[in-house]
Amino acid sequence: MMEQYSSLGLLQTLVGFDTVSQHSNLALIHFVRDYLAQYGIASQLVCNEEGSKANLYATIGPTDRGGVMLAGHTDVVPVTGQHWSSDPFRLDVRDGRAYGRGSADMKGFIAAVLAAVPAFAAAKLHTPLHIALTYDEEIGCIGVRRLLDVLGGLPVLPQMAIVGEPTLMRLVAAHKGKVAYQVKLRGKEGHSSNPAAGVNAVEYAAELITFIRELARERAERGPFDPLYEVPYTTLHVGKMHGGTALNIIPAASEFEFEIRHLPEDDPQPLLNAICNYARGQLLPAMRAVDPAAGIEFVERSSYPGLLTAPDAAVVRFVQSLLGDERAPAKIAFGTEAGLFSQRVGIPAVVLGPGSIDQAHKPDEWLALDQLSACDTLLATLLQRLGGQG
């Protein structure tokens, strides 16, 4: 007889895999593959180029129709420099909470899905359930893109997707998109006693950062706005900066990174164009007047689209019926893979999962046990719908 796993027991197992994005996720993926195989469910693995990480895709039930996809990422953010009261990779259950890295973001959802697998496998589903697990979501939704290349070639795609990021089990149908860039400035070194003889890469970087800051102020003051977001406008932010070697040396190099988190209806390209045009049209000529070898380089670090699923879309109405909650779907500021499922392969998606984003990425990350139970209940209702005649 096969052992029956609870969602909490599976969460304990999943948290035990150190799947920080810099590390491999294969141990977790192989565990899931073998777990599904116990119930006669085959998995397709889609690996990265090095073969060190993998996505997993599996289907329960008929393969000739769309069905519902449950999706989640397996990677977690680092714990380096954080002070934890317990081992972050060993689940600690106390006071109605499960503490551990990834408990909320988002191994709790994956654990609940896996715990429901035996019941789904035993049922005679008239509509299939698909499971999609990805790698490297936390560093730019990287792994899912390789999975989407495979899904795009399938004869039948899932009809809809639920991405199980932590939303306190509140249905979400829209979120912001993001683009992130690194900017590298090349100046001319010299003695600080004669600043005009060099090209100060730090000062030119500061001018460009100030321009980005002005664009951020303009968006905050003029919009466009969407009051359903906590921050109701597109934001620009500079998060890292490096440059210079000594105070008495004109810095020959500097670099910084900025991001744009944009409303899904607010195309970030005009903002990017404005930043590049200012750098190349205003700053670069002055730099090259001193040294023709001076330069400014823009390197895209990551990007993902926003999500904008219509409030009356079939996936929204379906999930509302599962929840027994007819409230209009919410909107969130943080990004997910849902926009990629929707835009890249046309799978309408929503976001819904146990736990709070407020606990994610922090020391002593935790998931409330009642949230895990609520997710179990949702999946039991989903089973009834996919296995029944309705």
Catalytic residues, which ones?
75, 137
Q: Quick one: angle between helices 269-278 and 201-222, nearest 10? A: 150
* Closest residue by Cα to residue 260 from 223, 297, 225, 215: 215
C-beta neighbour count of 289 within 10 angstroms: 10
In the chain, beta strands by DSSP E: 43-47, 54-60, 68-73, 92-94, 97-99, 129-134, 160-163, 172-175, 177-186, 190-191, 235-243, 249-250, 253-262, 295-304, 307-308, 330-332, 349-351, 366-368
Q: Is the peptide bond before 224 cis (omega within 30 degrees of 0)?
A: yes
Helix (H, G, I), strand (E, B) or coil at 37: helix
Q: What angle do CA 61, 62, 65 make, to 5 degrees?
A: 125
Q: Are 27 and 17 in contact (CB under 8 A)?
A: yes
Max alpha carbon distance in the chain (Å)? 82
Contacts 24+ apart (CB under 8 A), 42-48: 44/150, 46/146, 46/147, 46/149, 46/150, 47/146, 48/135, 48/136, 48/143, 48/146
Residues 6+ apart with CB under 8 A from 373: none
Q: Check residue 2 and report its DSSP letter.
A: P
d(CA 218, CA 32): 48
Q: Check residue 80 and report its DSSP letter.
A: T
d(CA 5, CA 116): 9
C-beta neighbour count of 218 within 10 angstroms: 15
d(CA 106, CA 142): 16
| Lookup: tokens for 210 | 């100030």
In this structure, what is the dihedral angle of CA atoms 358, 364, 365, 367, given to the nearest 10 degrees? -100
